[in-house]
Amino acid sequence: MKAWIVAVGSELLTPFRVDTNSLAITERLNAIGCEVRRKVVVGDDVSELVTIFERGIGHVDVMVCTGGLGPTEDDITRDAVARVLKVPMDLDQGIVDGIRQRFERRGLTMPEINRRQGMVPRGATILENPRGTAPGLWIERQGTGIALLPGPPREMTPMLEALIAERLLPRSGGAGLFRRVLKITGRSESDVDARAQPLYGKWLTAPIPIAATILAVMGQIELHLTASAATRKEAETALESAVRELQDLLGPIIYSIDGRALEAVIGELLRSKRLTVSVAESCSGGLLASRITDVPGSSDYFDRGAVCYSNRAKEEWLGVPSELIASHGAVSEPVASAMAEGIADRAGSAIGIGITGIAGPGGGTPEKPVGTVAIAVRTPTAKQVRTFQFLGARDMVKFQSAQAAMNMLRLMLLDA
């Protein structure tokens, strides 16, 4: 199956709003083996939208369109579809009643303008919108299914799920593109690519070809493996064996073979080993604690985080001796180590992590340039301290500090 995605809304053509719907839609379409051939962002302009529908209908299997279903004059998606299909619009009293009731439940009277949202191009099927007023619409013409979904992501998402399950999955027949995402941290993109290169050629000429794409994103590398096969089962089998080949080749630098984030991976390890962790952060400013607690259920293993930016905070809250700071400097392995010990002891956690570094842009010296970060991890059985030299702006240094700390912990837990 081939798809186009159309994002409608003049605000998406300004510097202030990004079209994120198309990313979510692409992910869901790809998951059922549907390939996205084109993405279009178009303003609230009927003639522009008409041109796009004219091109797409009869050309692709599905066009998923979001936005422009609201009640105002500039919500033009319905009109454009009706114009292209040369069908009249009928008022669906059921939709209007539903919208009126939604207003009444909040003690409001429905403005007359909202009746516009009850206008349906003749022949279209209505898609329920459990989270908003504007329903979605589904129309088929010349072999192309056209889905019109509302713009707000929280309304669009559940409707997309229903669309995929009820209409697109049965059409996909199981064939298509299937993907696995592997995540790697602690190595450079070129290093990973050079080591994995011999596998790529072999995979491309295999009976079920697999294409590999390498992406470097903030402190981690993603390897995307895409298999094209007649059935999901065949694709899964081929992908599984490719993933195993990569694991044999690259070893534990691969932290995730199912797209999971590093914080979720360490969470799983901590839970399975029944260990708790507390963190003391200087240059990462609480980012490590924030990322660990992004994972639902992290209260099972995360006790506390202290942001100790000043030397005084490190002394008062963590018991780092002032002489240690005076003799080695606040950014040093002995101080990172004392921070990890200090927080673990005070919290009574099995594991303590200490991070101290120079996020920049100021504060660097020839011996300790911007991006120098000392990280210590203390577990019940081991202790490691390392100094990293990260590149990039302040946010990159903070992110990589949290990333490296979690990766050190992961590798230590795997060894334990």
Which residues contact ligand ATP by CB under 6 A? 7-9, 11-12, 17, 19-21, 66-70, 75, 133-134, 150-153
Which residues pair with residue 100 across a beta bridge? none
Q: Judged by CB, which is closer to ligand ATP: 152, or 363?
A: 152
Q: Judged by CB, which is closer to ligand ATP: 113, or 249?
A: 113
Q: Judged by CB, which is closer to ligand ATP: 9, or 342?
A: 9
Q: Judged by CB, which is closer to ligand ATP: 8, or 292?
A: 8
Sign of CA dihedral 318, 319, 324, 326: positive
- Distance of alpha carbon 280 from alpha carbon 56, whole angstroms: 55
Query: Smallest distance, Å, CB 242 to ligand ATP?
Result: 33
- Distance of alpha carbon 148 from alpha carbon 165, whole angstroms: 16
Query: Smallest distance, Å, CB 116 to ligand ATP?
Result: 10
Q: Judged by CB, which is closer to ligand ATP: 7, or 405?
A: 7
379: three-class secondary structure by DSSP: coil
DSSP per-residue codes, 279-337: EEESTTTTHHHHHHTTSTTGGGTEEEEEE--SHHHHHHHH---HHHHHHH-SSSHHHHH
Query: Smallest distance, Å, CB 160 to ligand ATP?
Result: 12
- Distance of alpha carbon 232 from alpha carbon 228, whole angstroms: 9
Q: Judged by CB, which is closer to ligand ATP: 89, or 307?
A: 89
Query: Smallest distance, Å, CB 85 to ligand ATP?
Result: 19
Residue with tokens 């970060």: 373
DSSP code of 204? H
Backbone φ and ψ for 147, nearest 5 degrees, come out as -110, 125
Which token pair is 181?
A: 């995402």
Query: Smallest distance, Å, CB 152 to ligand ATP?
Result: 4
Query: Smallest distance, Å, CB 18 to ligand ATP?
Result: 7
Q: Judged by CB, which is closer to ligand ATP: 139, or 351?
A: 139
Sign of CA dihedral 282, 283, 285, 290: negative
DSSP per-residue codes, 69-104: -SSSTT--HHHHHHHHHT--EEE-HHHHHHHHHHHH
- Distance of alpha carbon 375 from alpha carbon 387, whole angstroms: 6
Which token pair is 47?
A: 């003639």
Query: Smallest distance, Å, CB 70 to ligand ATP?
Result: 3
Query: Smallest distance, Å, CB 401 to ligand ATP?
Result: 31
Q: Judged by CB, which is closer to ligand ATP: 6, or 330?
A: 6
Query: Smallest distance, Å, CB 80 to ligand ATP?
Result: 13
CA nearest 281: which of 182, 398, 381?
Answer: 398
Q: Judged by CB, which is closer to ligand ATP: 12, or 139?
A: 12
